[in-house]
Amino acid sequence: MKYIIDAKLVFDSDERTLYLKESPEKCVEIGAISARLLEAMLENIAGVAREYLLDTVWSDHGLRPSNNNLNNHISLLRKSISSIIDFDDLIITLPKKGFMVNKRYTINSIDEPATKTSRMRLAKDGQVESYPVALWLLSIMVVILTSLLGYVVCHDHYSIFGLC
């Protein structure tokens, strides 16, 4: 799912990237935990409790939660966001309660089909890599080479035993 924050910043939760809407080639990749954190906050813009985040982001994925981990990943998220755009106040800390997304920013979510994002991936240098096409070509080559090898082995088999 993609989230557009204040019509400028785009967060792609499937690819775990942040980028400006007008320049998608300059994206910042974030870790899985940070991506789950940001997604949980964007889905619950009224605010999320620390315990909810610890359960949803860490415990539900078999990881050991701690308040220190939560604070570190919130800090990493803030740094990643500020490296792209000046949204220093996007994530607000609710002391001893949790976190929330600043209400002055509008959040729009776009649910795109997963097939589009799984077919193509934007490489670091901005070129599009198409994985399934390469895999199909590789599979076809393997089938052709296996068939040729089988033909050669069968053909040589008859000549080895003097049947030809």
Q: What is the pLDDT of residues 118-148, one digit of tens each?
A: 434 444 444 445 557 777 788 899 999 988 8
Domain positions in the chain: 2-112, 115-164
Give the whole-number percent of the chain exceeding pLDDT 70. 81
Report the pLDDT value the prediction gives residue 128, as an integer from 0 to 100.
47
What span, in angstroms and rounded, lies between the C-alpha atoms of 94 and 47?
A: 8
- pLDDT classification of 88: cutoffs 50, 70, 90: confident
What are residue 159's phi and psi, to 5 degrees?
A: -75, -30
Mean pLDDT taken over the chain:
83
List C-alpha distances in Å: 71 to 112, 145, 150, 161: 31, 55, 60, 75
Per-residue model confidence as pLDDT tens digits over 15-46: 999 999 998 888 999 999 999 999 999 999 88
CATH of span 2-112: 1.10.10.10
Q: pTM, whole model, 2 decimals?
A: 0.66
What span, in angstroms and rounded, lies between the C-alpha atoms of 16 and 1?
A: 10
